[in-house]
A and B are shown apart, each in its own frame.
Chain A
């Protein structure tokens, strides 16, 4: 889901940065690290750790391609989607500076997909799961797939809008970018949901409540 450094035209990079920045500020305000309880601090650490660990893995996928899991589900369901933009920004800055993955000019666009669009989809599925009274593990798999899809579809849209196909326009290039991301992401999302369920099951029972609802 990382749009590489410099791979969005200046105006697009600026626009996505302007859209993502208020969300990161709003998100950061909710952390309140000094005043927060020990319990919430540990949940935050766990969510950030999960996000860091998962986004560092590069799973092989169909036809010789590979892709990263998103790692956004744990934080979104344990603490709500408000904590996600700032956590996503943290991991994306780390990757831009140390790994040459993503970049500072594309940080806004990448925060928008990983920290806003993905968690929104996860929260939506979490709510749906609560309403339908599905088992936790089914809900987690659905939430992971939905969050992963929303994240990668957003990246595809961002690139398609920036680079319309000369013949068929934005719809044409969207098809091409979706073909890159969507196909590779399905097996990766399923694999990722195993990690999510594993960590969820290792939480004490009373903590397994869906904040997203």
Chain B
């Protein structure tokens, strides 16, 4: 459990730093390409963004994933009773 929490924290931090410092995402480049191909296209639906920086939510996702992964791996390594 301790290890899972430590890995979760590490993954969260890594995701936060990467999200802040990594370059333009391919998803955004694809949007630019759509704009270049069809300038008139307007997205026809959007959902309101969550408050706070994107990097924070990436960190939450990575921490959740890393924590669950480590917890499950530790349990798998233990001999089943």
Contact = CB atoms under 8 A, between A and B. Distances in A.
Contacts of A184: 26, 29
A38 B80 contact: yes
Contacts of A102: 27
Nearest to A163: B37
A31 interface: no
Contacts of A52: 61-62, 64-65, 68-69
A50 B70 CA distance: 9
Nearest to A184: B26
A181 B47 contact: no
Given A39-B80, A159-B33, A100 B49 contact: yes
Interface residues of B, number: 50
Interface of B: 11, 14-15, 18-19, 21-27, 29-31, 33-34, 36-38, 41-47, 49-50, 54, 57-62, 64-73, 75-77, 80
22 contacts: A42-B76, A43-B72, A48-B65, A51-B65, A53-B69, A57-B58, A57-B62, A64-B24, A65-B23, A65-B24, A66-B24, A95-B61, A98-B60, A99-B50, A99-B58, A99-B61, A155-B30, A159-B33, A177-B30, A180-B30, A184-B26, A184-B29
